[in-house]
Structure 1
Amino acid sequence: MIAESISNFFADSWLLWVLLSIGSLLWWSGRDSQYFNYVFNRYLLALMTLLIVSGIVFSLMEVLPGDCAEKYIAYKNTQGETITQADIDAERARMGLDQPLAVRWARWVTDLTLRGDLGFSCAKRQSVNLALGDRFWMSFMFCMAGLVFSYLIAVPFGILSAFTINKTWTDKNPQHSKTERIINSIGLSCQKVLDLVLRIVSYLGLALPNFLLALTIILLYVFAGESMPTGLYSDEWRNVPWFGADGFSWGKLDDFLGHIWLPIFVIGWSATALQLQTVRALVVDESNKLYVDAARARGVDGVALWAGYPVRHSISPLFNSVGFDFQRVFNDLPIVAIVIGLTDAAALLIEALAMTNDQELAAGILFLVALVVISMNFFTDVVLAAIDPRVRKSVLGN
């Protein structure tokens, strides 16, 4: 009986023990290490930030009209039962909704901290964890794939755009022969045209809303007489298992890839445009600093100069903004999810806020987004302090 009680205690508070174990390990490592002491302090700061965010999110959700008791009673009323105000008050007392806001927030945070319980969804009539299921992970993968897509395009082409900003369209160097000037002029013109195209694309990405881009692509499919790539699968493959009697279903994988590119492309569209501008501005700013002129005076030139100095030092700020980029991409995902017909956490958030008024479900999704953003910022700070001498000197002092 005692062993079972202890087992149940740890099972009901597993998340708390995980957090305490990580904190204890970092504290122990930080006794003799300035770096791990910094990591431990950042860990505590991240937990405090999450606590503050939970209070803000919970308070904002409480501002919405109605509560779980009223929704539950309204549901029973639709089933033909006669409901009185006494029934509503009794249900509110049973759910603990008659308690002050601070008490209910403390209970919500306690359940969340002990075992990762995000509360009870009134509209879904089940826990928020079950209502979300794999949907949040689906949204997470969409956002991460969109970010990877944007970085793969924005970083190299943003560097190329910065590299060509001060170059001329033609080679007018009198020391070059006529043939060399023609060949160099062709190369310079191609680079300038590519830079011009990149600027136009980046401006379109910032000006054109993501949902409008999604609608445009869908309409193009309609005009071409092709099936729309909405949702994650076509109707014929939606209920087909991944592994059947004949083994892995390659047809379903092909159908999935034919649909998944659309949300990744659409949500990565504006992120790519913004990152193009950001990378270009960072590299141009670094290339105008004195240490680059000093390297050029020592004879360093060409790719070695750009890769070793302005580009290298421009990556750190970009890497440190991954968490905020994730939040920006997720902010675009709800409307895109509705347009494309996805059923991920972003679409569920719109449903909870605009249709069912499900505060607990909306609060759970918003908190998970904040958790991802804060976790990413924590890990980027830790990694940058380890690999970047400038950051290491600023935060560690040596």
Structure 2
Amino acid sequence: MDTETSKSSAWVQTDVEEMNQYHVPAKYLGNGADKRDMSALGREQVLRRNFRFISILGFGCTLIATWEVILTLLTDGLTDGGTAGLIWGFVIVCVGFLLVFASLAEMASMAPTSGGQYHWVSEFAPKSCQKFLSYVTGWLCATGWQCAIVSIAFLTGTIIQGLIVLNDESYVFQRWHGTLLVVAITAFSVFFNTFLAKRLPMVEALILILHIVGLFAIIIPLWVMAPRASAKSVFTQFNNDGGWNSLGTSTLVGFSGTITAMIGYDCAVHMSEEIRNASETLPKAMMSAVVVNSVLGLVMLVTICFTLGDVDSILTSPTGYPFIQVFFNSTGSYAATNVMTAILIVTLTASTITEVATASRQLWSFARDNGVPFGEFFSHVS
């Protein structure tokens, strides 16, 4: 009995020491694979592993917000490429990015670290330039994610302005109004990540539901009430209204919108130290997010291309967003248009919250590796 008691005491003592070492409650430390990965990476676990497959899938799907971004960037694609350029371009982009993120998912399974790309570069680059290339990659990723925050906030803020224009003809669209809305949305996202961070996994799962259900809440009224274009014109009509030297060049320029709608699935990588069983869960969630958003994006894109109505009139819509005009032309109802557009506002706001989470983890990890000034300050976790 004494031997058994002493063994139990030793195990309890080991658990306590492990908890104190990592400064994280035992239930958030992850499984054995997570501990081995952290040890192999030479890192100490300081973040809570409270993300599971569904919540990290929601994280990736809602941050990229593929079908929502497709709607907001319709102008570029309709001007350069037309409906056929949009649809076939999106298919090409999806196939290409599926291959890209398959490679990233493989690296994430080998080294699930919040540092992501700059860590992998340091592993795979030639020894002579590992540090330099890793440093440059770290700065590109850190600043890129910071800029991505305001890009989504800008879309959300100006969509709100577009709704105001639709509902109040006396309103004068001012760019500084949009700037204030961007600041407000960004500030809300920072507030959420600061004081409600523990709720983030639950919120991501809920927003994933809205992301999927919201799509059907929009496309069903469009299919029922909107005028239909012919399949031949939708799938074969290319445009070159941008004045490029060839139709092919114009179509390639129009790819910018569809590329934007499919970029950034590495966001989940930067949450890897908060995912339980990260080396297995993370790559599965990344690839699942790419597939789910590709399917949803294609469904929305085909739907909107069939129900555009007169393209020239929606491109000159006073709202600034053709999709808002399409919603109103299809339903003939301010209330219905407001509700349909509000779905995008909510999901894009959620995307901004997720962007802040991703950008903060990327900056934190890079600071932990002394990649930025005041690294000790930015890498500190209470």
Q: TM-score range by the shorter chain?
A: under 0.3
TM normalised by structure 2 equals 0.26
Asked which structure has the greater RCO (Cα within 8 Å, sep 6+), the reply is: 2
Larger radius of gyration: 1
